Structure 1
Amino acid sequence: MTSSQQKPPLPRRTPRAGRPATAKVEEAVAARDDLAAALSGAGVQLPMMDVRTPWPDTDGEDSSRPARYALVHLGVCSAPVAHALAAVIRKGAAR
């Protein structure tokens, strides 16, 4: 993939409208951005990467409390992209 074909950086947004970003969310966003940059440098572009936090509690507690953790969601990708990702991982593991 050439630099003219690279997509713009992923947006920095907080999960779930109205919920504040926490240190865990910021850590996950930084990890997502780092992974996206590394994959892009290896010629692999995942179509959808996002940061997700747990669903708000439904037991009547305040759902505005900070997220205890956040996960980097890699989304879905086509078979050719999955093969490219596997090749990059194998190449790195062989070092």
Structure 2
Amino acid sequence: MASPPDQDVDPFAAVETLRAALDQAGIVLPSLAVDPGSPAVALIDLGRVRAPVAVRLAAALQRGAAA
């Protein structure tokens, strides 16, 4: 599946896509949101997480990279 050009990605849709993928991996990032201070570059704020959540996120990424 080809990735769309960066400037065409809706940041709100990106947040929901990421939230759904994280949910499937059993990971919750409570502060996940569009950064309102960056409308020109559409930054996504992932927020802060506890160490166990960071480890689960890393493991999910590693499983995905190995697939």
TM-score, length basis structure 2: 0.78
1:28–1:70 Cα contact (<8 Å) kept = yes
Q: Which has the higher contact order (CA 8 A, sep 6+)?
A: 1
Two-structure CA RMSD over aligned residues (Å): 1.9
Runs of 4+ in 1 over 3 A off after TM superposition: none
Report the count of equivalent residues. Answer: 60
Displacement of 1:52 in angstroms is 1.4
1:54–1:69 Cα contact (<8 Å) kept = no
Task: Please list every run of 5 or more consecutive structure 1 residues that lacks an aligned counterpart in the other structure.
Answer: 1-23, 56-66
- Select 1:39's aligned residue among 22, 32, 36: 22
Displacement of 1:69 in angstroms is 2.5
The structure carrying a bigger helix percent of its residues is 2
C-alpha offsets along residues 2-54 of structure 1, whole Å, 9 cap, x if unaligned? xxxxxxxxxxxxxxxxxxxxxx7x80010011000000011111121111144
TM-score, length basis structure 1: 0.57
- Select 1:68's aligned residue among 37, 40, 59: 40
Task: Give the distance between the partners of 1:45 and 1:75, measured in 2 at CA.
Answer: 11
